[in-house]
Amino acid sequence: MTTPDEYDYLVVGAGPAGSVVASRLAEDPGVRVLLVEAGGRPRSFLLDMPAALPFTYQSTRIQWGYQAGPEPHLDGRTIDEKTGKVVGGSSAINAMIFNRGNPMDYDGWAALGLPDWSYAHVLPYFKKMETWEEGADDWRGGDGPLHVSRCRAEHPLFETFLRAGEQAGFEVATDHNGYKQEGLHIAQAFVHNGIRWNAARGYLRPALERPNLQLLTHALVEKVVVEGGRATGIVVSGPHGRRTVHASREIVLSAGPFNSPKLLLLSGIGDADDLHGHGIDVAAHVPAVGRHLENHPGVDVQFGTRHADSLTSQIGLVGRAVLGARWLLTHRGLGASNLFEAGAFLRTRDDADFPTMQYEFLPLTRQLRGGKVVPVPGFQFWMDLSRPESRGQVSLRSANPADAPSIVFNHLADPRDARDLLDGVRLAREIARQPAFARVTTGELSPGADAVTDADLLAYLRRRVGTSYHPSSACRMGTGEDSVVDDEGRVHGITGLRVVDASIMPKSVTGNLNAPIVMMAEKISDRIRGRAALPVATAAFHRSGGTRWSPSGPT
């Protein structure tokens, strides 16, 4: 029989993974589940309004405020990392873009010794999680908790982008989350009836109606309690003091790609020498904790247009008021858009069998002018590197749980990453110089027409590279000393403890991470509950071929 401070399962973090795990575990009425979240419940309508994305990015109340750096290969700069500190986690503040990754990503995981994570094994869980507005088929789900819609992409520049891509020799993908990812596309988003549809709304909100699931907010987990090699509880502090909560079955860390490795280290799970340096007793020597950190480094390529041809013509002071009022009354119009309504997955190298670059196309630009970031008539390509080779680390600054972790991505440490990004800039320029864009563009704004040589563009990258807020892999799955958890998320050397979030990805995927995180949480939830895995899928997918681009042109 459990006590008020004892549960069967403790889940740390109410982000996309934690919301899924807690809700699925609570489907078993005989267990008690406590979900612990450092932030609070969302209170502002701006978190529901897709077009309010810039405001959610700027709000410090609902974020951890972490920075990465100094980055040794980016002139020592620091990079802001947007991570949600609110129920829903980063799915409550992100750009809502729905991308699964490339099927070859998951077959690559399988090749690393994780056979149950091949595309055939994960596709059923992608289907389970979603309701795709265009209906179920061999690749898509039709009755899952998360609603996915195709963006309306009504601004004329989105059509211009697609036509220019075709003129440059590329195809437009019918469904880039179906048979074939590669090509240009109209984006898909976690938006339903004009509202952000995040993991908390799709999974957690209905699950909280069950009496066996409790949500504790404004609670900072300081560490996992480990006794005799078993995780038995967590130490939690908050407005009502500090206490220990016990788990009779398991503890699941879904604290995110920065905080999950941080919590393992604070709990004595990590490299023994590093832990001793902070005065932390070693519970398990797992040297890979915090290492192999990945992210998708990216940069803007911007072009000017006349005011009338850009979305800036609709978002002046009056335009924003009309946009907001219409959305509040009807949940329609531009307020129901995440603005990232078209994109592409393209290859920049002949020797790549996967898209090396992801592009998000926006029919507006923003630039720093007069000390302020202001909208500028134009359009831009946000481009990021799909599978970077550079690796970073999450480590402790101190043994104080209130201190932010040290985060260094080491972007561009591997020269192959710089080469791919240089080619990515040139490919964006190639698309922008096609006839479809000729009638609207007034010239390149950044890097600028004078940035021609590799040295020019590399200097631009060092000044401007940021990330797509896709950190992963600092607690990666595997079988050897280079990994932290096994193929079911169980931490090496400790019983009763799992990690389930982006940090356990053995390698990042070709695309945004929210959908893969939910898929992983669904899959591991079945394992925790002792349920049989869903039947292996047989749907085919596009492996190679199609147009490859190189600086000398399409091949």
Active site (catalytic) residues? 470
Is residue 297 within 8 A of residue 388, CB to CB? The reply is yes
Q: Which residues contact 452 (CB under 8 A, 6 or more apart)?
A: none
Q: Is 555 exposed, middle or buried (0-12, 13-18, 19+ CB in 10 A)?
A: exposed
The residue whose two tokens read 């947007």 is 82
The residue whose two tokens read 């992210």 is 295
Pairing state between β 406-408 and 291-293: unpaired
Helix intervals (H) in 142-227? 156-167, 199, 205-207
Q: Which residues contact 238 (CB under 8 A, 6 or more apart)?
A: 216, 218, 219, 220
| Nearest C-alpha neighbor of 10 from the set 38, 40, 36, 39 | 36
DSSP 372: E
Partners of 369 in beta bridges? 372
How far does CA 141 lie from the centroid of its chain? 21
Is residue 281 within 8 A of residue 269, CB to CB? The reply is no
DSSP E strands, 333-455: 342-346, 357-362, 365-369, 372-376, 378-385, 392-395, 406-408, 441-446
Sign of CA dihedral 497, 521, 21, 341: positive
Token pair for 214: 């409790």
SS3 141: coil
Partners of 392 in beta bridges? 293
CA distance 430 to 453: 15
Q: Residue type at 123?
A: L
